[in-house]
Amino acid sequence: MRSVYISRATSVAARSLDGEMMIMSARDSTLFTLNPAGTIIWQSADGKMPLAEIVKQKICVEFDADPAEALEDAEQFVSDLASHGILVVSDSPITQPELHSKTVTRGS
């Protein structure tokens, strides 16, 4: 099975508020919100760790999910975000400029 690598698009604006990521697409200013699982995938999208590993190491551990089912959901999620220009998807590692995805957990 081929590996899928994901990287956060540099064109978006993003911030995590109370454990959920809010992302604004630069393409059309559409605002998206990611649930906690989506937020973990987004924050792990460094272009280096394959999606399957992100799911295995982070999603399954955090949410006690079935690995195969979780990966299927994650692939669909990634595909959706990529279609909006929010994630970059590649079958090889992606080099991205230094980005800092800040998280705010205060008050949660």
Cβ–Cβ < 8 Å for 73, 25: no
Of 1, 68, 92, 97, the one binding another protein (CB under 8 A) is 97
Cβ–Cβ < 8 Å for 51, 38: no
Of 12, 34, 55, 78, the one binding another protein (CB under 8 A) is 12
Sign of the four-CA dihedral 46, 27, 36, 38: negative
Q: Minimum distance from CB of 108 to another protein (Å)?
A: 7
Cβ–Cβ < 8 Å for 6, 75: no
Of 64, 91, 92, 108, the one binding another protein (CB under 8 A) is 108
Q: How many CB atoms lie within 10 A of CB 85?
A: 15
Residues 28-87 that bind another protein (CB under 8 A): 29, 31-33
Could you list the residues that contact another protein (CB under 8 A)?
10-18, 22, 24, 26, 29, 31-33, 97-102, 104, 106-108
